[in-house]
Amino acid sequence: MNAPIEALQGLANAAAEAAAAPPFSPSRVKKRKKAEPIPRNAFPHVVEKGLVSDSEARELFHIFFSGCHLFIPLFDPAYDTYEGIMERSPWTFDAILAVAGKIRSGNNPPGPTFYKALEEAQGIARSSLFGPVVRNEAVQGMLLLAAWSTNGWLPSGHAMRMALDLGLHRALEKLADDGGKKRSEEEERELVVSSRIWLCLYWFDHQMSLGTGRPIVLRDENSIRHCRVLLNHPMASPTDVRLVAQVELIAQKTQIYETLSPMNGQVNHHTLAFIRRANVALDKWWHDCHELHLQSMDEDSLLVKILDGELHYAKLWLVCVALRGVSWDKMPFEQRELAFQAKDAATNCLSTFLMSTAYRAALRYAVHDSLVTAAFSGLFLLKMANLFPSELDLGAIAAQVEQLAQLLSDVAAERYALTLRIMLANLRRKVGMPTGGPTTVPSMGPPGGPNDSMVMAPFVDASGAIEDLGFPWPHNMASLNPSDIPVWLQEQSLTDLGLPVNGSDGIFMNPNRGTGWPGEFAPMPEAW
């Protein structure tokens, strides 16, 4: 009963003694706190546990750094070597192998290595929910699990909070202002890595919010203000230029979304003026970043093509946010002109994908966001073709969409390919388009190596028979539930050119829904 009172009395006595001590008493001198060494890894990686052989792990690691790291520019290949990541972070190491295992399987069911690496990575992730995180690489591992997931909202949120706990949001400011102090190479590397992780996480988290219509959680723009400092640093990575471009673009898209979204499709002269200014700003962003890219690569390089595609898609996205909820039959002339501007942007976006051999080959490594960019452009063109059949070249649009659907099927993105093919079949039935002949489409080579060959693949018109969609379909017609088709794609919504409130979740069919359709798809683990 007396313990709390005695403890308080002891604290009071200690405070009195401290106050009575001489001003320069040794007891008052504060010693600089030494940084505690980071404890050793608590979890072994899959190679150490004997779940995956060293040779197979090296093969998967090579696959990841053949293309995956371009879409999530978290790493510096010169620093993040096989041995380096294996030693520093079993979590990130296992996550890399899981992602690469999924890429390697292509259209086939994932092999046992994928499931083993994923189970280990997710097991370590679960342990971080209620325990302290001491390594920056833990954020990398969590972000990788989120990026290649079909639903990365929750894991990306956890990665964000881990990063805030570790203070990564202050890394760029420290990197930009050294305060006249000379840092050791280890301290400098720590700041560079922390800055890169924070920028990638900031971009990804904002993109997840804009892409799904959820509120943006992090509002601190000061944490990315010095992002270009990374480009001139001696420890810069070849992909940092893409990372900086992504961060600067997402900042512009956030401002666009927050300005246009509250208008709920009310397009007046103020809206049109804002859209014009936004287009000018996007062009300036592309010009500045294009110049940065050309300092270290040529015009036909993959990262430059990705930058081009992002400009065209941003202009399409801009109009679709402005036209949200607006029906074509109620559009005044100005809004109709906006729709045709968006059509041009969608066409340019698809052309960037289909005309670049490097971009086509890289799509097998892509994350959800990049696949949405391509597929939504095709869906928008099909909607425009439904609304303005006499004013558009339907044959050219159909050919582009056919090629894109085949390309997405080749890279195991069947969810997006299926949605495109259903929309294309519907358009052909409505306007009586003849079946297209063989279409030249890219042939995808094995992961980890370029393949520029082309093959001729026929695309059969879907004029009534389910099998004609060119897609594995359940034999039982009743297994296709009308509720599997999102409202945005249904007949009554064809006049709506705006972006759904829930973003991509309201656009693409989900093959793994609980309605039993389609039976041929083995469901992936829930986080994938």
Residues 6 or more apart in contact with residue 264 via CB below 8 angstroms: 324, 325
Q: Is the pLDDT of residue 326 over 80?
A: no
Predicted pLDDT of residue 220: 73
Residues 205-254: tens digit of each pLDDT = 999 899 888 888 877 778 898 899 999 999 999 999 999 999 999 999 99
Q: Is the dihedral of CA 197, 221, 325, 381 positive or negative?
A: negative
Nearest to 438 by CA among 415, 425, 456, 465: 456
For the chain, percent of residues with pLDDT exceeding 70 = 78
**C-alpha dist (Å) from residue 109 to 175, 468, 523, 525:** 44, 24, 10, 12
**C-alpha dist (Å) from residue 488 to 95, 325, 415:** 34, 11, 15
Residues 68-110: tens digit of each pLDDT = 999 999 999 999 999 999 999 999 999 999 999 999 998 888 9
Residues 6 or more apart in contact with residue 16 via CB below 8 angstroms: none
Residues 473-510: tens digit of each pLDDT = 433 334 456 666 788 888 888 888 888 888 877 888 76
Q: Cα 59 to the chain's mean position, in Å?
A: 24
CA angle 74/210/329 to nearest 5° reads 145
Contact (CB, 8 A) for 460 and 440: no
Predicted pLDDT of residue 142: 95
pLDDT average, residue stretch 414-426: 89
pLDDT average, residue stretch 403-424: 90
Nearest to 86 by CA among 49, 59, 122, 47: 47
Q: pTM, whole model, 2 decimals?
A: 0.82
Contact (CB, 8 A) for 160 and 214: no
Q: Select the more confidently predicted residue: 81 or 526.
A: 81
Contact (CB, 8 A) for 361 and 450: yes
- Residue 456 pairs in a beta bridge with 440
Nearest to 326 by CA among 495, 507, 501, 503: 495
Nearest to 196 by CA among 125, 249, 139, 147: 139
